[in-house]
Amino acid sequence: MDSDKRKIRNKHFSSREPGNRLSFILESVPEGSHLQFSQCHENLCPVDSLYIIADYFCIRFRKGQRENLMKRRQKRNQYIIKIAAVMLLMLLLWIAVFYRIIDSGDFLFSFCVNTRPIASEENGWNLILVNCNNYIPDDYEIELTELSNGEKVDSRIYPQLQEMFDDMRAEGLYPIVREGYRSAEEQEEIFAEKVQAYMNEGYFRSRAERMAEEWVAVPGTSEHQLGIAVDINADKERCENEDVYLWLAENAYKYGFILRYPQGKEDITGISYEPWHFRYVGVENAQIIYEKQICLEEFIENIR
């Protein structure tokens, strides 16, 4: 009877996977007691005992392998984190240096000086196109006439400008030239003041310069430096700006002047709407521009 039980038990024991035989034996060890092979040796054959010992060391070996694998993974993750941190730090440093260079303006200025496009005079002095994409030629020369208030304009537009002002006064409007010719130094000062104003509001220099360009031309791209553009306002003691702007919008073309930066053309001119800024292009050209309701950039493009 005992031998039959032994055969049955040993058959059940041998049917287990090698990795589970030790667990089978451990079930017979009282809870809280230390594992002693002698406790479970009495009813086992020597082969079973060898299986148990082999399983025990196999489990210990596998446990050691798992621990080593976990340590290697932890060490690898630490290396990855360190490398990622260094790369992030380098990226932030590069961005900081890049924006420092951009904000200083030295890099862009040195680059643009050598690559900026020059405005062409092939269509005549009165149709020279100066904007953010076309710089005034370095050898551009003009002869100036000084007005009664000290402002100056190109002598070639003075007769038409004076005739237009005389006709406005005859109708009860009193215009004045608030801004005429500007030197490169004056334009630089005005632009710098606008940039500084935006920086005082908390903008970075690069952003402040882009915002300033919407209102003030970059030095070298201002029509005021040509002497053929004027900012016209009202003599506030006699009339209002709105009345002067309205008259000019409807009649300036008759004297060869156009509204240089009209409303709705900001994407083309690059400058916000300025109802006071008028540019001389000649009577015939001004009439075409007025009738077609286009800007100077569009007109120049059509005649090329």
Q: How far apart are CA 260 and CA 252, in angstroms?
A: 11
Alpha-carbon gap, residue 219 to 135, rounded angstroms: 9
Active site residue 27: no
Task: Give Cα 108 to chain centroid, integer Å.
Answer: 15
Question: Out of 186, 188, 274, 297, which one is annotated catalytic?
Answer: 274
Write the DSSP string, the chain.
-HHHHHHHHHHHHHTS-GGGHHHHHHTTSPTTPPP-GGGGTTTS-HHHHHHHHHHHHHHHHHHHHHHHHHHHHHHHHHHHHHHHHHHHHHHHHHHHHHHHHHHH-HHHHHHHHHHPPBPP-TT-GGG---BTTBBPPTT----EEE-TTS-EEETTTHHHHHHHHHHHHHTT--EEEEE----HHHHHHHHHHHHHHHHHTT--HHHHHHHHTTTSPPTTS-GGGTT-EEEEEE-TTT--HHHHHHHHHHHGGGGTEEESS-TT-HHHHSS---TTEEEE--HHHHHHHHHHT--HHHHHHHH-
> Where in the sequence numbering do the catalytic residues fall?
274
